[in-house]
């Protein structure tokens, strides 16, 4: 079993497709991951399952890889108790999670915006430009910069988990470029396609960060490092003179515009 702990998960899933179903049962969605080079042992560590669940998961995987054999599962590392319910974040990590909330409100609006896509009127085009501005300025330049320039530097940037995060950020930037080009050409279908692809990508990305990456980082940061992070994030806020007000207003306006019916029902 030791040998498999050091193997890449994609390789294991390719060889034993049922392993993906087992991981899914424990809320570990490796199948759709775009990179998937994490080793099985890292996945088990990063997801921080309670001891009994981790043992049960490994037994099930061993049952698929070595059917009918009695396999000795190495005991998991001593760990802090896994969160059962709400996750508690350190203050700097909580800031990032809060920033995700505004980004998720925009992601939730994208299907409605796509449904009513209008590239003929100035107003319709402006809505898309404003949405793209929110992605570039708030989600990318402000939020992703905190992650890439500060937070990720505390960890091994060549590690698989961070490679996945970087790749998601890069893919998102590619969608934004494609959105702008499509907007220029008034190509509704391509614009819609990239808006929706961005939405799917980022929704999944944020979930990975909120549920897996940030809690894992919090478990590995010292109190001093958490304090440093908090100070560095505050510096960014000050230096950029950044206020999310403009984007909050943009989102609130769109929510009123697109969720009128729901508000009436409240
Ligand atoms: Fe990110
Ligand atoms: Fe993020």
**Rounded distance from Cα 209 to ligand 2 centre (Å):** 6
The DSSP code for 157 is: T
Beta bridge partners of 141: none
The pLDDT score that the predictor gives to residue 224 is: 94
The pLDDT score that the predictor gives to residue 206 is: 96
**Helix (H), strand (E) at residue 194:** helix 188-208
The pLDDT score that the predictor gives to residue 33 is: 60
pTM of the model: 0.76
The pLDDT score that the predictor gives to residue 58 is: 84
The pLDDT score that the predictor gives to residue 32 is: 57
Q: Which of 38, 230, 241, 244 lies closest to 151 in space, CA to CA?
A: 230
Dist CA 215 CA 120 (whole Å): 45
> Where does residue 11 fall: left (phi above 0), alpha (psi -120 to 50 degrees), or beta otherwise?
alpha
**Rounded distance from Cα 251 to ligand 1 centre (Å):** 20
**Rounded distance from Cα 100 to ligand 2 centre (Å):** 6
pLDDT means over runs of 10, the chain (266 residues): 74 86 79 60 73 82 84 64 71 95 96 95 96 95 92 93 94 97 96 98 95 92 94 89 88 89 55
Counting ligands in written order, the one closest to the CA of 143 is 2
Q: Which of 35, 36, 34, 42 lies closest to 13 in space, CA to CA?
A: 36
**Rounded distance from Cα 108 to ligand 1 centre (Å):** 17
Helix extents (H) in 66-187: 91-115, 122-133, 145, 160-184
Neighbours of 101 (CB within 10 A): 10
**Rounded distance from Cα 62 to ligand 2 centre (Å):** 34
Dist CA 266 CA 216 (whole Å): 38
Q: Which of 98, 112, 130 lies closest to 206 in space, CA to CA?
A: 98
């Amino acid at each position: 079993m030791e040998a498999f702990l050091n193997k890449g998960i994609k390789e294991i899933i390719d060889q034993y497709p049922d392993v993906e179903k087992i991981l899914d049962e424990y809320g570990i969605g490796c199948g759709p991951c775009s990179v998937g080079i994490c080793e099985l042992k890292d996945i088990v560590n990063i997801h921080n399952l309670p001891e009994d669940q981790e043992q049960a998961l490994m037994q099930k995987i061993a049952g698929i890889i070595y059917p009918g054999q009695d396999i000795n599962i190495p005991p998991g590392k001593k760990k802090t108790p896994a969160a059962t319910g709400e996750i508690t974040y350190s203050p700097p990590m909580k800031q990032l999670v809060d920033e995700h909330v505004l980004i998720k409100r925009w992601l939730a609006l994208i299907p409605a915006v796509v449904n009513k896509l209008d590239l003929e009127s100035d107003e319709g085009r402006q809505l898309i430009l404003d949405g793209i501005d929110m992605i570039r300025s708030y989600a990318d330049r402000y939020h992703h910069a905190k992650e890439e320039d500060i937070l990720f530097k505390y960890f091994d940037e060549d590690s698989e988990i961070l490679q996945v995060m970087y790749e998601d950020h890069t893919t998102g930037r590619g969608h934004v470029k494609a959105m702008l080009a499509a907007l220029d050409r008034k190509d509704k279908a391509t614009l819609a396609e990239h808006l929706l692809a961005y939405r799917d990508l980022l929704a999944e990305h944020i979930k990975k960060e909120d549920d897996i990456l940030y809690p894992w980082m919090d478990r590995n940061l010292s109190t001093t490092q958490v304090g440093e992070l908090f100070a560095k994030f505050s510096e960014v806020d000050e230096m950029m003179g950044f206020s999310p007000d403009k984007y909050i207003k943009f989102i609130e306006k769109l929510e009123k515009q697109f969720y009128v019916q729901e508000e009436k029902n409240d």
